[in-house]
Amino acid sequence: LNETVPKVYRGMDRFEARKKIIADMSSLGLLEKIEDNEMTVPYGDRSGVVIEPWLTDQWFVDAKSLAKPAIEAVQMGRTKFVPKQWEKTYFDWMLNIQPWCISRQIWWGHQIPAWFGPDGHIFVELNEEDAYLAAERHYGERKELTRDEDVLDTWFSSALWPFSTLGWPENTKELMKHYPTDVLVTGFDIIFFWVARMMMMGLHFMEDVPFRTVYIHALVRDEHGQKMSKSKGNVIDPLELIDKYGADALRMTLAALATQGRDIKLSENRVEGYRNFTTKLWNVARFCELNECQFDLKFDPFACEQPINQWIVGKVVDAAFKVERGIKDYKFNEAAGAIYQFTWGTFCDWYVEFSKPILLGDEEHIISETRATAAWVLYQVLKLLHPFMPFVSEELWEKLGFDRDGKLIKADWPEFDGQIVSNVNIEMDWVVDLVSEVRSLRVEMNVPPGAQIPLIVLNADDTAVAACASHMAIIKRLARVSDLSFSDGDVPKGSIQAVLGGSTIILPVSDVIDLDLERARLNKEISLLDTEILKFDKKLSDKGFLSKAPAEVIEIQRERKNTAFEKKVKLLEALERLSSVVK
């Protein structure tokens, strides 16, 4: 204790002084009684000692007056929150706002522009020179002034950011051009601390909102949904992920998981998966390069004559539409998902497989069109991927010679008149669905990969007939079927079947698998899964486990149970399909 207390207590520790004060009051007969008073005692997070209240003079702002126009701006739609649900958080704070203490007793910050005269009179001015002029007018002579040592609250200074960084209070060309800005991207935890205060300051000083849209992004958690913290040991270092998998893989992962209104559960496996996607992209670029697929600015993709080329052009247009819509609606997961699915599935898997026989053929005009189409598709893919994966897309852009007109980052965004829906697209989509279904049935029934089996289309509709007639060779090669025929009669014995659109596909499998042995295998796997699911159910219904186990451990058990259940459902479907085999 210092010199402001009676001499007998000076230099004493506060806790020892309290004991002595009680003893002194008791000895003087001034103590009536002692009662326990339960209260929350604050401790310093670094020092670990009890924090004592110390009343001092502080500077405050009339936040309620500043908040009124900021509330009205959001109510009128001048500034919109995405997702909209975060407007409630904004209004909850703003409608119940209290006077804002803006002074801080720390070393760094904007020093409060207030000066004290010798009699304590306060002069608030823009700078020291103006303060001295104001003091001279007040006193009639020049007096020595002392500036307040406090600095502004960090959030007060940050609230000025949208315009103070552009030269304000001067009316600079940068300020005229860039204020207000378009979109603010931030986290939900600083909606009041930063977003609301920028709104208040922008409207007060600039008479306009600082931004038109506030996009509230998700919180990145660990793979079990737990908030990352050093004490839990579950912090994922992004620099380590970048060193291991690349910045593009991490960017794509975060974009693909950025569902509005949901936090991101980030795991290293997901990032690794998008690293594999990067490899897939590189490989398809290599495929185009090896097959002499050169991009030609004069090439008109909408003049293609080959069905597979017409189909892939239509799919590019569809993908571009979905990516652009996702970005405009701030649904970045949908945008990333659209370009991912198109690139990996439609382009790298299906189109490449469809084009291989053509590129190995001898019809030069068809080869030339397919080469030009493949190059054009890759050209568009790199543009659509660039917002998500800028590094690998820019690298390939340069290596493939697409940079004749400049860097990819400066290239025009793909623009198309609309989606292409044609008979060609419908037929090719049916072929993709057919091959996918046949492959799935073969895996379910444990058909040997090399086995060639016949395929029968029962009650084929017009789409099925047209698709099979145009693409018979593709279907037989990719589905690994020995023959493809149509039927309106009975289903052959020993066959499995599945519905595809308005038709039924039939695979006679009794000659390539032992139906009884396969049925026994499925029943055995289902039984093992039943035992596994029962074990999870028992653990998850144990109150002792639920009360003692960490939340992330419980979540792991639930995920494992769900995985086992999903696998069981698939096996039951396969068993049901096997049971329906015509005998």
Distance CA 536, CA 549 (A): 14
Q: 3-class secondary structure for 509-570?
A: CCCCCCHHHHHHHHHHHHHHHHHHHHHHHHHHCCHHHHHHCCHHHHHHHHHHHHHHHHHHHH
Buried b (16+ CB within 10 A) or exposed e, 275-313: bebbebbeebbebbbebebebeeebebeebebbbbbbbb
How does strand 220-221 pair with strand 264-265? parallel
Buried b (16+ CB within 10 A) or exposed e, 519-542: eebbeeebeebeebbeebeebeee
Nearest by Cα to 444 from 296, 575, 262, 275: 575
* C-beta separation of 29 from 42 below 8 A: no
Amino acid at 490: D
**Residue 199, Cβ neighbours under 10 Å: how many?**
28
* C-beta separation of 344 from 280 below 8 A: yes
Q: What is the structure's pLDDT at 525?
A: 85
Distance CA 22, CA 32 (A): 11
Amino acid at 391: F
* C-beta separation of 486 from 460 below 8 A: yes
Q: What is the structure's pLDDT at 501?
A: 82
Helix (H, G, I), strand (E, B) or coil at 123: strand
Distance CA 392, CA 47 (A): 48
pLDDT digits 0-9 by tens, 26-45: 999 999 999 999 988 899 88
Amino acid at 527: S
Residue boundaries of the structural domains of the chain: 1-55, 60-112+148-217, 273-421, 424-513, 516-579
Tokens of 243: 């060193």
DSSP 507: E
Give the class (CATH, top level) of 516-579: mainly alpha
Cα angle at 546 between 541 and 552, to 5 degrees?
120
Q: What is the structure's pLDDT at 503?
A: 85
Distance CA 428, CA 354 (A): 10
Nearest by Cα to 552 from 234, 197, 81, 159: 234
* C-beta separation of 322 from 382 below 8 A: no
Residues 6+ apart with CB under 8 A from 471: 307, 427, 428, 431
- For the chain, list residues with pLDDT below 50: none
pLDDT digits 0-9 by tens, 416-474: 876 565 667 888 999 999 999 999 888 888 888 888 889 988 888 888 899 898 899 99
pTM of the model: 0.78
* C-beta separation of 471 from 433 below 8 A: no
Query: What is the CATH number assigned to the segment(s) 273-421?
Result: 1.10.730.10
* C-beta separation of 160 from 153 below 8 A: no
Q: 3-class secondary structure for 244-290?
A: HHCHHHHHHHHHHCCCCCCCEECCHHHHHHHHHHHHHHHHHHHHHHH
Give the class (CATH, top level) of 60-112+148-217: alpha beta
Distance CA 428, CA 466 (A): 10
